[in-house]
Amino acid sequence: MQFNAKVTDICKQRSACAIVAVDSKNRFTDSGAALDKANDGGLSKLLKRGDLGKSAGSTLMIPQVEGGADRVLMVRSSNAPISQAEFRKLATASANAVKDLKDASSYLTELTVTDADIQWKAQQTALAAGLASYKFTRCLSDSKEHPLAKFTVHGIDKKQLKAAQKGAAVGAAQAQGSNVARELGNLPGNICTPNYLVSEAKALAKKHTKLTTTVLDNKKMESMGMGAFMSVAKGSDEPAAMIAMNYKGGKTSQKPIVLVGKGITFDTGGISLKPGAAMDEMKFDMCGAASVFGVMNALVAMEAPVNVVGIVAAAENMPSGRASKPGDVVTSMSGKTIEILNTDAEGRLVLCDALTYAGKFKPSVVIDVATLTGACVIALGSHATGLYANQDKLAEDLIGAGETTGDRAWRMPLWDEYQPMLNSNFADMQNIGGREAGSVTAACFLARFTEEYNWAHLDIAGSAWNSGAAKGATGRPVPLLMQYILNKK
């Protein structure tokens, strides 16, 4: 989709639809008032009929009005100033209302939002529009691309135009990256295999000279001592891969941010087989890897002046005669031994070797992203990503990035008191810690492999996809990660 920000007169700006806000007292912002005047008060008359709902985010589309736009979309807001959360709600509601049109122009930036400037409002408006434009069509026999192709954000005045353009560009990039992640996450496991992810990474490198891709196959990983990773991969006929996408957009002296994504392209649970109900959703177990792909795609597209390495640990977790068994002991790349008590706790087994491998890039920080534990869903639901970190400043920066974008995270404890739950009688550690604090002990397991650098873990088991009628990948936490990276440039 094409995004831009302009200072536009709503009565002259050509588009399929102009989006304006109306508060609880039926008052327009400036552009809406101008359009109402151009229509001899026609919009106000419609409001008096009560056709626009009273709750924030209610919308009403009006066709064939006087002015530059073919339609007007009125969106109900509270009285000014409104909260950031409400602004996101209005931006999302309006974007969903116009997503089937060829183009739209939004004047929601005229709203007064608590602790938010024009750049933030433009960013949120563009992000919402980009997300709304996505539709999964890859596996439909009669598919049509979403028609929304152009979206314009109103810049209010010339003094604020540059800030609005910058905000719209960032929001558009975050949406692009999120949609890449959603597409990969939504693909079925028979298409999106580890080898498919390899081909995607190589194709991305061919398009961008500042990005190089390195792939480690099963044989190479075995020779490097990645016994934990291979204990998962060996149960599948599909070859596994450790993919490293190295983007060098910053100064050569700048240490890279390393992102590590769990890429289990389908998770049966292995010998510790999952229940059959909703097992189809285990194609989403690679959403951590998908988010890494999303971030890398967006960064190279916007030529961000940063150095970022995206590592993807890609494998299937399958039951077979070669699969790991409960009670097996394996040796990780770090040399530490692990007793596998549950083969369905496989994510931490692939990640621990990936985290050791990440150290070779001499990172400034390492952030892993994984649909790691059902326990995190129980703890936080789908609203927040679980955040663990071995450095307070890193945790604060990630939480701040989430608050800016609305892609929120909540810090969880990473205390030494939890570590004894991983003690094993037969190895250096076991891969599960018991029924209590499952998300915490999983993070404590990973922490044992990240002692040499600044590290954060994002458990996205609750935030990476939706179930039920709205089943599908969400693209989270791409906005959070991108905001964090761009804040560091």
Residues forming the active site: 274, 348
Gap between the Cα atoms of 415 and 404, Å rounded: 28
Gap between the Cα atoms of 37 and 42, Å rounded: 8
Beta-bridge mates of residue 328: 340
| Of 356, 129, 101, nearest in space to 242 by CA | 356
Residue 331 burial (C-beta neighbours within 10 Å; 0-12, 13-18, 19+) = middle
Strand ranges in 282-364 using DSSP code E only, listed in sequence order: 307-317, 328-331, 337-340
Which residue matches tokens 């060098």?
248
Gap between the Cα atoms of 187 and 280, Å rounded: 11
3-class SS of residue 346: coil
Gap between the Cα atoms of 178 and 172, Å rounded: 10
Q: Which two tokens stand for residue 434?
A: 């018991």
Instruction: Show Cβ contacts of residue 183 under 8 Å, excluding neighbours closer than 6 positions.
Output: 134, 136, 138, 473
* Contact assessment for residue 21 and residue 75, using Cβ atoms and an 8 Å cutoff: yes
Q: Which two tokens stand for residue 213?
A: 């891709």
Q: Which two tokens stand for residue 296?
A: 């890398």
3-class SS of residue 93: helix
Gap between the Cα atoms of 108 and 94, Å rounded: 9
3-class SS of residue 160: helix
* Contact assessment for residue 177 and residue 486, using Cβ atoms and an 8 Å cutoff: no
Tell me which amino acid residue 156 is. I
Beta-bridge mates of residue 387: 411, 458
Instruction: Show Cβ contacts of residue 111 under 8 Å, excluding neighbours closer than 6 positions.
Output: 21, 29, 77, 80, 82, 87, 90, 121
Gap between the Cα atoms of 5 and 163, Å rounded: 9
Using alpha carbons, list the distances in angstroms from residue 148 to 3, 16, 72, 474: 11, 10, 16, 19
